[in-house]
Structure 1
Amino acid sequence: MAIQKFSYITVMESGAESFLSPVNSIKYASPIHCHDFYEFFLITKGKAVHVVNNEKQQISEGTLVFIRPSDVHYYEYEDGQKCEFINVCFTKRVVSSSLRFLGEAYSNDYLLTSKLPPCINLPPIEKDHLVYRLENVNILSKGDLGKRKILLRGILVEVLLNYFSQLNNSQKSDLPLWMESLLIQMQKKENFTEGLDAMYRLSQRSPGHLNRVFKQFLNMTPTEYINSLRLKYAKHLLLTTKISVIDISLAAGFDNLSHFYHLFKKQMNVTPVQLRKIKVTIHHSSS
């Protein structure tokens, strides 16, 4: 099968350095191909098989993959299921500039040189937030190419820093397998809302042992980790629903509204009400 080769010149509009495209089915995706630009794609619904560099990756809702110019890939159906994703492309110059911006502390060896492209499965909360950010690029830029460039560059840097630097670090860490499993389990709403009791039950470790291990590997306490998950969930609800702040606080696992406000302001630099007002202001200015 012949490999199609795509150039950013033909994919992106004149003067653009990036390209964002929702893909409603893999039947609309390109056959086996490579290109002279970078891209990342996020699966928003369903599942499929991603064939890349002669290997197969199982991809499903929440899977985020970073494709390099050297990668040859295409998609296959998985059990006949429909698969939808958002595809975002960037020129080599943009990615190089973003990596320089992140500086020497950001190790990109695994990102750029691994045989298979970096791939990570996002928790539902983080997947929904990234989808929200991407879907609003066109609304917020209002056809302004310069503003669109800034918005997509910002998202690229966040994706590299928040997801693929963590992936790189996890390759080198000595994180115990039981703790890796625990962190994955704690991403589930029913567990982070239950809190420490769920963590003790799932880990089968004593409170003292958990405190020592969390401090050693994550530089935070179990309570701080749980609160970070709850706050991300609360932020997601504030941005995507009209549920009252007090009900969001309870849904996220906080039984004290004042404590919720204090932690939210400390981590997000705005109060829950202020965040919602910012969202409304942006929505009105773009309509």
Structure 2
Amino acid sequence: MFDFIPYLISANYTQHRRKFQPNHAFEKRITKSYELVYFLDDSNCKMILDNKEYKIVGDTIVFRKPDQHNQSFMPYESILLCFTFQPLKKESNDDNGKKDLQSIIMDRIITDPFVDNIKTIYNKPNQGNYRRIFEDIYKESLLNRQYSSYYFSSKLMEILYGLYHENNSNLYTNDEQVTDEDLLVILSYIHSNLNNCFTVKIMSKELSISERSIYKLFKEHLGTTPVQYINECKLNYSKRLLLNSNISVHKIAIMSGYDNSTYYITLFKKRYGITPLQYRNKRAET
């Protein structure tokens, strides 16, 4: 079982074409974290990684690991995701329960068959719409929303699983048992369907994960139930709609995946102590 999940450190969109001439060599550097890079359509450059030269064209994904020597040459445009790995189980930290970023990164240089079997270069990979996932992560990183970290982890794992599966077709088997990684699949499903009306039963059926397993995963890793988590995400989503639009509360309830506006208002008031309309008016006054 894979015992770590990816944790996003930063997401950057690089568009150097307008600033640098062709064949411009960037300074050599040593990677400090794991990196996934998606080179966009008009990239036509090269990269030197640990003294090995790679030809880079558009729709290429590069996977870099900590402590690798890296140098890139123009021209290219890319989306760069820097991340580290965190254990699925909670661990004790310092007296304040915190660690600085450098110690987190250094602690997450892991040896695992899953990570070790992801190649460095994928030219026009066939599985999955990777560009869309990279773009979604970058856009979400600009919003800095609550629960974004779960979204980032699930999307990063989706990329890593896809790349692993490119050259390891036996990743999924019919008799595979439910593991902690399924939590990331579940969270990805939830955040992709906030505007839809669904239940744990529906989610269980569509993901082929038992309801019992879903409840167990949420209790062990998030300390809550899937229903509470779904409602929290939907209510937060509805708050943004209330503040950034003049849409009626009834329509916002529907857009937030509730087919009953009365039920939505009841949940909202129970959670925040005021109705959705009172929340909108109160924020408008300030």
TM-score (norm 1): 0.45
Greater relative CO (CA pairs within 8 A, separation 6+): 2
Rg larger for: 2
TM-score (norm 2): 0.45
